Structure 1
Amino acid sequence: MSSLRSGTILLAACVVLTACGTTSENSGGGGGQTTGASTKCKGTGGKYVIGMSQANVAEPYRQRMDDDIKAAAKGVPQFEVRFTDAQQDNARQVSDVENFVTQQIDLLIISPNEAKPLTAVVKSAYDKGIPVLVLDRKVEGDAYTEWIGADNTEIGRQAGKYVAEKLLPSGGKIAEIRGLAGSTPAQERGDGFRDAIKGKNIDIAVSQDGDWLRDKGQEKADAILKSNPDVQVIYAHNDPMAEGAYLAAKAAGKQDSLKFIGIDALPIPSGGIKAVEAGRLSATFVYPTAGKEAVAAAKQILVDCQQVPKTQTLQTQLITKENATEVYAKANGG
């Protein structure tokens, strides 16, 4: 075979590979999913199984996230979504993801219980060519297709600004009830809050982990109020813990002398917006579940054969007595 003919064949082979996309280019094998459409995409005629690995459904926010994914997925006839509940157990969630990979799912959605323990299994799925959408909480590194969520540091900063300007303009003492210690929102909501109150003569007298749960928030607040009776504001990292703190204060007869702040603002009867409207919480902040955005991203990847951005940051909003009724009505189609 002449060298000219060999070169022509080699060039033709390269053109074919360029048109189709190589395995490593599209699937994440070796180099991650950095360029090209996902090899999982079969267009509108395909059928796709999506695995949704939830950290837990004991939090109303996480149940709402699952519900939002189910509702959005109904609008994409090609999708079948399978859900798991890790029940705040890292090892269980790792196993859930491994089972999804064994089932050969077409795309993984995960809201990690904690960042570090879930990083390796998420990377393993991603490196096998499975597109991965990470919602709300993060993993370490960048071995995923897209992260979708709100800016928790900014939410914490806005909460601190609200306390400094509206609740304690002359300074004072607060207590903090944090989320699960190893989860990124807990760290970021605490960091942002501290940044905003710096130099404002506001002292965080005590900080306790409430693990995002209402009953644990109530338990921690009960102990806080006994050991620090002079706190004036309780900043909780989510609405259920803030409501738990309110119940603890009510049991102690202190509900009228304290102010409570939460985060999530779910537009449901038991959510934070209604708690603000009723006067139990002074404020909360909208924290979108990212459910509908995740399904839209999955459609882009699997059905439309399009790339998605590495990060999709969703917007928050301060909810107070002044706008709670209006925001609730709008969120529910009013």
Structure 2
Amino acid sequence: MRKTTKSLVAITCAAVAFAAAGCGTTSENTGQAQPQDPTKNCQGPDGKYTIGMSQANLAEPYRVRMDDDIRKAAQKVPQFEDVQFSDAAKDNSKQVTDVENFITKQVDLLMISPNEAAPLTDVVRKAYNQGIPVVVLDRKVDGDAYTTYIGADNVAIGKQAGEFFKNTLLPQGGKIVQIKGLSGSTPAAEREEGFQQGIAGSKIEIVATADGEWERSVGQQKMDALLKAHPDIQAVYSQNDPMAEGAWLAAQAANRPDLKFVGIDGLPIPSGGIKAVEEGRLQATNLYPTGGAEAVEAAKKLLVDCQQVPKTQTLGTELITKDNAAQVYDRLNQG
């Protein structure tokens, strides 16, 4: 009897699997990226288009600036009548829902800066496999189910920061702490990897690492604890400027004006990292462009010009210190 029952179960399961395979022929169910014509929604200059932009959160000034850059660039493209923005507020489930809503609305193109890679991969693949061109910004998803990825090289940026520590900030070595971004986001891992490459061969020791979730307030809290556990540190490597500023506030409260701080982003705004370098709170920051204007340009090529775009578009970076901060700030705000 037991053997017969097992056989029936096996037959039933096989039948269900076969039916699922037969019914699930739509490409989004395959778990793989399907070949797409990314220009299929192109109607030329006479078309009118709806774009959905799914943002990971708006707690970070960098992401507010990214959305602003997209709005500003889209206003210059008359065919982009409707650009809709959503804020996932650091919630992966909400961002999945946000993207599902854009799919339901049948947007002509999806832009997304994922909160974390793995949880957003399936829904981005679903959009892509349904024929929606997908522009991924800043943070990546797993696999290749997207039309183009636009972002700076986070490994190179981390290495650039590490080399500044090794060659300029702590040439004799020393103890430092690292404040990372959200652990499940790709820039956090890549900026750590690059930094390790940059300090290789030096006597710099990372005595502790904390997850600051990309936010100033969290960075301040984590730095307060780090200072208590490691009072002999000399510097802080922060994976973005807001966390660096939070760490600086914690150091001031702990009467540690001797500590040195390096961040990443270099936003050209009054509250951004470039001004923090100019004013002496940070010793350096590393430019990390938002890619907003480039995302709109990619959308224009795909939807208006009927042109292909590269699979990866790597944005440039530069080290910003007190020597060049004012010039970089002015240059980035031109136009």
Residue 124 of structure 1 corresponds to 126
State how far apart, in whole Å, the 1-side matches of 2:296 and 2:33 are.
Answer: 22
State how far apart, in whole Å, the 2-side matches of 1:157 and 1:304 are.
Answer: 37
Residue deviations 1:15-47, cap 9 Å, x none? xxxxxxxxxxxx999885646452211111111
State how far apart, in whole Å, the 1-side matches of 2:60 and 2:305 are.
Answer: 33
State how far apart, in whole Å, the 2-side matches of 1:319 and 1:152 are.
Answer: 16
What stretches of structure 2 of length at least 5 have no aligned partner?
A: 1-26
State the SS of the aligned residue for 2:178.
strand
Aligned positions of 1:175-186 closer than 5 A:
175-186=177-188
Distance 1:323 1:299, change over 3 A: same
State how far apart, in whole Å, the 2-side matches of 1:36 and 1:102 are.
Answer: 20
Residue 319 of structure 2 corresponds to 318
Residue 203 of structure 1 corresponds to 205
Q: Which amino acid aligns with 2:61?
A: P
State the SS of the aligned residue for 1:39.
coil
State how far apart, in whole Å, the 2-side matches of 1:205 and 1:63 are.
Answer: 33
State how far apart, in whole Å, the 1-side matches of 2:36 and 2:179 are.
Answer: 42
What stretches of structure 1 of length at least 5 have no aligned partner?
A: 1-26
Residue 173 of structure 1 corresponds to 175
The 8 Å contact of residues 33 and 145 in structure 1, kept in 2 or not, is answered as no
Residue deviations 1:94-136, cap 9 Å, x none? 0000000000100000000000000000000000000000000
Residue 11 of structure 2 corresponds to none
Residue 65 of structure 1 corresponds to 66
Q: CA deviation at 1:197?
A: 1.1
Q: CA deviation at 1:199?
A: 2.2
Q: Does 1:41 align with 2:42?
A: yes
The 8 Å contact of residues 33 and 125 in structure 2, kept in 1 or not, is answered as no
Aligned positions of 1:227-242 closer than 5 A:
227-242=229-244
State how far apart, in whole Å, the 2-side matches of 1:35 and 1:226 are.
Answer: 54
Aligned positions of 1:14-93 closer than 5 A:
32=33, 34=35, 36=37, 38-79=39-80, 80-93=82-95
State how far apart, in whole Å, the 1-side matches of 2:323 and 2:138 are.
Answer: 28
The 8 Å contact of residues 38 and 131 in structure 2, kept in 1 or not, is answered as no
Residue deviations 1:268-319, cap 9 Å, x none? 0000000000000000011000000000000000010110000000000100
State how far apart, in whole Å, the 2-side matches of 1:201 and 1:83 are.
Answer: 46
Residue 253 of structure 1 corresponds to 255
Q: Which amino acid aligns with 1:45?
A: D
Residue 299 of structure 1 corresponds to 300
State how far apart, in whole Å, the 1-side matches of 2:223 and 2:155 are.
Answer: 23
State how far apart, in whole Å, the 2-side matches of 1:160 and 1:217 are.
Answer: 19
Q: Which amino acid aligns with 2:126?
A: S
**Across the two proteins, how many residue pairs are aligned to each other?**
307
State the SS of the aligned residue for 1:219.
helix
State the SS of the aligned residue for 1:174.
strand
Residue 192 of structure 1 corresponds to 194
Distance 1:124 1:37, change over 3 A: closer
Q: Which amino acid aligns with 1:169?
A: P
State how far apart, in whole Å, the 2-side matches of 1:323 and 1:158 are.
Answer: 16
Residue 10 of structure 1 corresponds to none
Q: Which amino acid aligns with 1:39?
A: K
Q: Does 1:135 align with 2:148?
A: no
Q: Does 1:104 align with 2:106?
A: yes
Q: CA deviation at 1:159?
A: 0.4
State the SS of the aligned residue for 1:94.
helix
Distance 1:32 1:207, change over 3 A: closer
| Selected match of 1:215 from 209, 212, 217 | 217
State the SS of the aligned residue for 2:224.
helix
State how far apart, in whole Å, the 1-side matches of 2:315 and 2:285 are.
Answer: 16
The 8 Å contact of residues 116 and 139 in structure 1, kept in 2 or not, is answered as yes
State how far apart, in whole Å, the 1-side matches of 2:34 and 2:52 are.
Answer: 18
Residue 150 of structure 2 corresponds to 148
Identity %: 64
The 8 Å contact of residues 111 and 134 in structure 2, kept in 1 or not, is answered as yes
State the SS of the aligned residue for 2:264.
coil
> Normalized against structure 1, the TM-score is what?
0.90
The 8 Å contact of residues 265 and 286 in structure 1, kept in 2 or not, is answered as yes
The 8 Å contact of residues 29 and 128 in structure 1, kept in 2 or not, is answered as no
State how far apart, in whole Å, the 2-side matches of 1:152 and 1:272 are.
Answer: 17
Q: CA deviation at 1:195?
A: 1.4
Q: Mean alpha-carbon deviation: is it higher for 194-203 or for 179-188?
A: 194-203
